[in-house]
A and B are shown apart, each in its own frame.
Chain A
Amino acid sequence: MIPAAFGYSRATSVADAVAQLGSAGPDSKLIAGGQSLLPMMRLRLAQPEHLIDVNGLRELDYITPKDGRLLVGAMTRHATLVRSEVVRRHLPLLSEIASEVGDPQVRSRGTIGGVMAHADAAGDYPTLALMMDATIVTDRRRIPARDFFQHLFTTSLAPDELVCEVDFPVATGAHRYLKFRRRLFDWAIVGVGVQMSDDGWRVGITHAGPTAVRAHAVESALRSGANPKEAAEHATDGLHPTSDVHASSEYRLHLAEVLTRRALEQAA
């Protein structure tokens, strides 16, 4: 289908994007890669009156290691993350996750900032951001990931606020991201990420609730000496996934446990 009519302008700087969002009113939206927004507009699930295109903001397209952190600009595309030697060296789990997002065509256009702002329950990077205590940097403040993702499609961003950067800690230890889906390009029915870091295992779960979660109970079981199988039994602690056409709630809980065990066993 063809999207409903809308106005269109290009942002020339971060400040300009924020100013345009403010003046164009509540029914205006940013468009980055368009890989979530345009499908919704084609189905008329979204009908913004005005789009402000941020694709020209090349200053938000960077991958910079700095003092034990890996700073990733919001306009960095999935394909750039997949190809980046710097990402492979400083946070290889991010490379692995990026290569599992959508398909090559989606990865050519879609951006990390777009995934964060869109906050789909099945988004893959929010899991990494939560489990690694990343910070979402906007045009005006720094928001810890645990305060950023509030609910399905809901973040703590103000209506005129722009995601500029995701600030991850560097982590090069054993890691794995396992994503269960029926076809390769599909979103995760459930996904699990594990990363060995300075303070032990970090574990995150995708799509077992309205937002990704950090599996604290699994992490502390591992710290107390549990093996992967024993620790994975805690993966479902506090989870209340919904049922949908892809999977029942029970099946999602089963996947969370099995994938957690497998990810810990396969981490390298």
Chain B
Amino acid sequence: MAQTVRLAVNGVARVEEVEPRLLLVHFLRERCGLTGTHVGCDTSQCGACTVLCDGAPVKSCTMLTVQAEGMAITTIEGLAPPGEMHPLQTAFWESHGLQCGFCTPGFIMAASALLAENPDPTDEELGRGLEGNLCRCTGYVNIRRAVHAAAKAIREGSAAPTAVGG
């Protein structure tokens, strides 16, 4: 039986009828057309589906849409205003933090949650903060470099971070 769910996605309020079994990731991709959030596994391990729910990083494949009732969801599309790039996006580009790019939206969302809590992570803290995300291409070195570069850019205010969590 379909249920009504009220939530905000990237600042837009939505009221939707959904089946309880509709996973948040499928809602975002198929109902909202926000295909930047990826599905990379069936086992809740890869983190490609990471979004922010009220600012907290969550694997959207491991949450029901009905459980997002009343929440503000931020996806990779909502991290920066349209036409602009978040410092993390710029840094992944400039530091070659991706190869195929499949894991990138998840890494950027997880990194944005990490930097919101810890603006100047040590390399170890950075690794721990991204432990829920897998990359099959890069070997992580440039991902670390990109997140450190973004952290620095945000700290130095050369690029103000977009407020996350709606």
Contacts and interface: CB of A to CB of B under 8 A. Distances in A.
Interface string A64-90: 000000000000000100000000000
B42 interface: yes
A55 interface: yes
Nearest to B106: A105
A6 B43 contact: no
B58 A108 contact: yes
Given A103-B132, A185-B45, A55 B21 contact: no
B20 A104 contact: no
Nearest to B66: A8
Interface in A19-38: 31, 34-35, 38
A2 interface: yes
Nearest to B69: A10
Contacts of A79: 56
Nearest to B22: A2
A222 to B, nearest CB: 31
Interface string B59-85: 101111011000000000000000000
Contact of B20 (A42, A51, A106, A184): A51
B123 interface: no
Contacts of B56: 79, 108
Contacts, number: 84
A39 B44 CA distance: 6
Contact of A2 (B26, B50, B59, B127): B26
A88 to B, nearest CB: 16
Contacts of B161: none
B62 A185 contact: no
Given A39-B43, A55-B67, A184-B127, A105 B110 contact: yes
Given A5-B21, A104-B113, A34 B3 contact: no
A53 interface: yes
Contacts of B94: none
Interface string A49-65: 00101010000000000
A102 B132 contact: yes
Contact of B129 (A7, A34, A104): A104
A183 B42 CA distance: 18
Contact of B63 (A34, A43, A104): A34
B154 interface: no
Nearest to A103: B132
Interface residues of A, number: 29
B64 A105 contact: no
A158 interface: no
A2 B23 contact: yes
Given A104-B129, A104-B132, A184-B127, A35 B47 contact: no
A153 B40 CA distance: 27
Nearest to B59: A105
A80 to B, nearest CB: 10
Interface in B38-53: 42-45, 47, 50, 53
B20 A7 contact: yes
Contacts of A6: 20-21
A185 B131 contact: yes
Given A39-B62, A104-B129, 8 more contacts: A3-B23, A104-B57, A104-B131, A105-B57, A105-B58, A105-B132, A106-B62, A185-B131
Interface of A: 1-8, 31, 34-35, 38-39, 42-43, 51, 53, 55, 79, 102-106, 108-109, 183-185
27 contacts: A2-B23, A2-B26, A5-B19, A5-B21, A6-B20, A6-B21, A8-B3, A8-B20, A35-B62, A38-B63, A38-B64, A39-B44, A42-B42, A42-B43, A42-B44, A42-B61, A53-B66, A103-B133, A104-B114, A105-B47, A105-B58, A105-B59, A105-B110, A109-B62, A109-B63, A184-B131, A185-B132
